[in-house]
Amino acid sequence: MLELKDLNVYYDAIHAIKGISLEVNQGEIVTLIGANGAGKSTTLRTISGLLKPKSGTITFEGKDIAGSKAHEIVRNGISQVPEGRRIFAEMSVMENLDLGAFTRKDKDGIKADVKHVFELFPRLEERKNQIAGTLSGGEQQMLAMGRALMSRPRLLLLDEPSMGLAPLLIKEIFNIIVDINKAGTTVLLVEQNANMALSIANRAYVLETGRITLAGDAKELAASEEVRKAYLGG
């Protein structure tokens, strides 16, 4: 479904992504793990059109999307839940969800998707008229995910969904990611909490200073001594 080939990305003179290649098959949950500053968020931002690669290709469903504008990529079927939520704090929950569907014109479909988001996140329905900035961190994360789902993505990019959340909420968010995937959305997940990420993923890539150093089945990587020492606390 998604293939990155020899991707190189720079921030001015800094070579942030150094020739990485990875793939995500339809229906999978694939996770990118690595330390802070390894280039995980940069990879997602490049896929979703917020950064332009210097070289290399990004192919989504057979179409080269490297260098496409961000709104075109959303139209193509990729949606990102950014690191730090980035909800529209001054707007209501409902207005945030409506904005998630900005590329769509099918009113009935939008209505059905709002209903689906409320089934996934009942707390959002209870707070649908509340100003988004007054929600708790966990509720804001739910809103950011709900907003991304409103564009009906076939591929969902999740950037650090557990950041700053209490352990119980992290579990809830990860259960919902599994539900979203089971309902037919492919997921590429960037996550600091490697234990949780590997527990739900099919496959994983380990990123170190802009390079992929390990790749394979998520369960096998979770059992590997190298990964355990570096990312799983022993």
**Residue pLDDT tens, the chain, 234 long:** 999 999 999 998 999 999 999 999 999 999 999 988 899 999 999 999 999 999 999 999 999 999 899 999 999 999 999 887 789 999 999 999 999 998 888 989 999 999 999 999 999 999 999 999 999 988 999 999 999 999 999 999 999 999 888 888 899 999 999 999 999 999 999 998 899 999 999 999 999 999 999 999 999 999 998 888 888 765
The rounded distance, in Å, linking the Cα atoms of 203 and 201 is 6
pLDDT at 233: 67
pLDDT at 231: 80
Q: Are 192 and 163 in contact (CB under 8 A)?
A: yes
Q: Are 204 and 197 in contact (CB under 8 A)?
A: yes
pLDDT digits (tens, 9 = 90+) for 106-121: 989 999 999 999 999 9
Structure token pair of residue 14: 């800094």
Question: From the centroid of its chain, how far is CA 146?
Answer: 12
Question: From the centroid of its chain, how far is CA 94?
Answer: 21
pLDDT at 215: 96
The rounded distance, in Å, linking the Cα atoms of 234 and 229 is 4
Q: Are 192 and 162 in contact (CB under 8 A)?
A: yes
| Residue keyed to tokens 């209870």 | 126
- Amino acid sitting at position 47: I
Q: What is the pTM of this model?
A: 0.93
H/E segment holding residue 123: helix 122-126
pLDDT at 234: 54
**Backbone phi, then psi, for 82, in 5-degree steps?**
-75, 160
Strand partners, 55: 8
Structure token pair of residue 161: 């969904």
| Residue keyed to tokens 């709104």 | 71
